[in-house]
């Protein structure tokens, strides 16, 4: 039978299955199953997937919490905009606000210590992209994502917005200190 010409007998699905075709169906199906089970496997065993919690919030409620933590644990100010550098104690909740077109505040964390990082947006959708680690988290208005993180390398990281959010998108960059 040719694939170009229509089959002489139109009941082509009643043809016996060719061995080669059956072999490829089995191989493809087995590979589908491997990939299917790798999803939960990597979630539990792999190190690249983040386990996050998500809660409903509002811009007002979230910014009140973020400001309270920033005021309490501010260690200094940086940049012309006098953005506070906030160093909350290990194990505590740390907050990051995304808005057009900035991140607030600047976080300073300790290596090897675990924190609960809260993320939310004041306006539109933004993306938390941690460089050079390639960690990406959606930052949405009305939702509070809580990601449990343990920085394992000291240094100065960059946080970029990776969801196009308008004319100042490229300026939506900040730092994250790990010492």
Interface residues with Cu ion (CB under 5 A) are 126, 161, 165, 172
Token pair, residue 14, equals 């009643």
The DSSP code for 124 is S
What is the rounded CA–CA span in Å between residue 150 and residue 142? Answer: 26
The H or E element containing residue 60 is: helix 59-73
**Look-up of token digits 């009643």:** 14
Q: Cβ–Cβ contacts within 10 Å for residue 160, how many? A: 17
Which is nearer to Cu ion, 73 or 157 (by Cβ)? 157
Least distance in Å: CB of 64 to Cu ion? 22
Provide the residue count of the chain.
179
Which is nearer to Cu ion, 127 or 151 (by Cβ)? 127
Which is nearer to Cu ion, 73 or 102 (by Cβ)? 102
Which is nearer to Cu ion, 43 or 170 (by Cβ)? 170
Using alpha carbons, list the distances in angstroms from residue 119 to 44, 79, 153: 23, 22, 21
Token pair, residue 126, equals 């933004």
Least distance in Å: CB of 133 to Cu ion? 18
Which is nearer to Cu ion, 69 or 139 (by Cβ)? 139
Least distance in Å: CB of 51 to Cu ion? 24
What is the rounded CA–CA span in Å between residue 88 and residue 69? Answer: 8
Least distance in Å: CB of 65 to Cu ion? 20
Least distance in Å: CB of 165 to Cu ion? 3
Contact between 121 and 95 (Cβ < 8 Å) = no
């Amino acid at each position: 039978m040719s694939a170009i010409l229509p089959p002489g007998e139109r009941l082509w699905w009643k043809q016996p299955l060719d061995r080669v075709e059956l072999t490829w169906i089995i191989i493809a199906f087995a590979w589908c199953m491997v990939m299917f089970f790798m999803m939960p496997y990597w979630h539990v065993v792999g190190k690249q997937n983040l386990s996050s919690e998500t809660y409903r919030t509002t811009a007002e409620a979230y910014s009140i919490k973020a400001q309270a933590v920033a005021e309490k644990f501010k260690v200094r100010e940086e940049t012309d905009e006098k953005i506070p550098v906030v160093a909350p104690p290990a194990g505590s909740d740390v907050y990051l606000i995304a808005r057009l077109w900035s991140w607030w505040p600047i976080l300073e964390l300790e290596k090897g210590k675990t924190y609960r990082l809260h993320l939310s947006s004041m306006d539109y959708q933004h993306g938390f992209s941690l460089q050079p680690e390639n960690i990406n988290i959606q930052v949405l208005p009305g939702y509070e994502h809580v990601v449990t993180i343990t920085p394992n390398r000291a240094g100065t990281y960059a946080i970029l917005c990776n969801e196009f959010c308008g004319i100042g998108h490229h300026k939506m960059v900040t730092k994250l200190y790990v010492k």
